Amino acid sequence: MDRFVINGGARLKGKIRIDGAKNAALPIMAAALLSDGPNVIHGVPDLADVRFMGEVLGDVGARVTRDPNGDLHLSVDDEADSHAKYDRVRKMRASVCVLGPLLAKRKRARVSLPGGCQIGPRPIDLHLRGLKALGAEIELDGGDIIATCKKLRGAHIFLGGPFGSTVLGTANVMMAATLAEGRTVIESAACEPEVEDLADYLNAMGARISGAGTPRLTIDGVDRLRGAEHQVIPDRIEAGTFLVAAAITNGELTLQNCRLEHLMAVVDRLQNIGVQIEQEGGDVVVGSSRRLEPTDVTTQPFPGFPTDLQAQLMTLLCLADGNSVITEKIYPDRFMHVAELMRMGANIRREGPTAVVTGVKRLIGAPVMASDLRASAALVLAGLVARGTTVIQRVYHIDRGYEAIEAKLASVGADITRVSD
């Protein structure tokens, strides 16, 4: 099992190119099941989760290949099998995104309940509610969701939940609605850029979707969807992680292929802390002063502060001059990184969905263990600034969402090595 060995203290300086967004690419790959022709997707990162999705699609008759330029080619060769099996789906929550396309295109789908990072309960009841509203019959059998229909019909659907809108639920229902008869209106739809990117791809396939990026989506069903070519948007979570990397090492990084309009809440908090962020042409330049101010932050659906950057920001606030308060409103149990940061000398007190972070003068290198994707990124950031050596176990978590993060960091001055047993 691989691990990272990091010798902290290096000041990062240089250029990093941001990859395409994993959270946009995965639903887009699933959407290819709706098409009657070949699809080409540009900018898809070479990640474990992308490979997992390729395996899931392969099980239900799709062919997924990557050409020498890194572009994904997807086409459907066989529609006989609509069962996304447990051995595949358990590895990644986004696998549930095949449910809507399979149901809409083949009138049947059997998808195991999904797995992924262990960051608390993330039920899919909103997905099922939306599909039922379109006319699907849903039952559970042996841990599988079985969805069938004679014909999907447009409906007026509310997709709000106790923690706000559902990103994957919006994606699933939107994809299913593209081939439904009549008009579907989704209220309290997720507004995330990844949902908007999916809508752009579906429209390129011939769908009729309006309102993407707003809480109200309107989908007028069509009879068929063709194959399409699409460029995936940049990964705002990877970009945010490198913004923090520059700040925490008192470095200066130039991020290429970065869209600040997708990171406004993050930029606001970082600037409040004392990080300098500027747009220079198509690039973003980030640096920081040595004194970091404390701040308060609450995770929210887009355009609020993303839960996927909560752990990374917490690591930065561990070194701020005072007390900061982080409230997790999306996944209240997403604090498994706290214990590992405290092993490195952080002063953090958790109170339910809130963590109070009291800044310390320095972090100390230690052996730590990654518990999920974003927590592992937070530990890498801590290792970059810690005094001494940090060894991070179970880095397969980080490989799910960051392509060769150690190589990118090493290219801008970090002392980080991947070690395989």
Strands (E), 354-407: 354-358, 367-369, 389-393
So what's the pLDDT on residue 149?
97
Let me know whether 196 and 314 are in one domain: no
Which neighbouring-strand residues pair with 156? 185
So what's the pLDDT on residue 91?
82
Let me know whether 86 and 186 are in one domain: yes
- Rg over CA atoms, the chain: 21
Which of 97, 117, 149, 258 is an active site residue? Answer: 117
- The answer to whether residue 258 is catalytic is no
* Tally of CB atoms within 10 A around 108: 15
Phi-psi region of 213 (alpha: psi -120 to 50; beta: other; left: phi over 0): left
Let me know whether 243 and 307 are in one domain: yes
Domain range enclosing 329: 3-19+234-419
So what's the pLDDT on residue 119?
38
Question: Which of 231, 262, 297 represents a domain boundary (last residue)?
Answer: 231
DSSP 371: -
Beta pairing class for 252-256 and 13-17: parallel
So what's the pLDDT on residue 117?
42
In the chain, DSSP finds a helix count (H) and a strand count (E) of 14, 24
Let me know whether 193 and 278 are in one domain: no
Let me know whether 316 and 224 are in one domain: no
So what's the pLDDT on residue 124?
86
Domain count for the chain, please give it. 2
Write the CATH number for 294. 3.65.10.10
Amino acid at 127: H
DSSP 216-267: EEEEE--S-B---EEEPPB-HHHHHHHHHHHHHTT-EEEEES--GGG-HHHH
Query: Residue 324: in which H helix or E strand, if any?
Result: strand 323-327
**Tokens 């691990």 correspond to what residue?**
3
So what's the pLDDT on residue 115?
57
Let me know whether 101 and 220 are in one domain: yes
Question: Which of 195, 212, 231 represents a domain boundary (last residue)?
Answer: 231
Let me know whether 288 and 368 are in one domain: yes
Let me know whether 195 and 262 are in one domain: no
Give the closest residue to 272 by CA, choosing from 264, 284, 280.
264
**What is the arrangement of strands in the sheet containing 156-158, beginning at the earlier edge strand?**
156-158, 183-187, 216-220, 208-210
Let me know whether 265 and 411 are in one domain: yes
Let me know whether 206 and 256 are in one domain: no
Let me know whether 271 and 392 are in one domain: yes
Residue 83: half-sphere exposure toward Cβ, Cα within 13 Å: 8
Cα-based distances in Å from 32 to 53, 105, 130, 186, 406: 12, 11, 20, 21, 32
Residues of the chain with pLDDT under 70: 115-123
Let me know whether 218 and 242 are in one domain: no
Are 33 and 98 contacting, i.e. CB atoms less than 8 angstroms apart? Answer: yes
So what's the pLDDT on residue 118?
45
Question: Which of 214, 231, 248 represents a domain boundary (last residue)?
Answer: 231
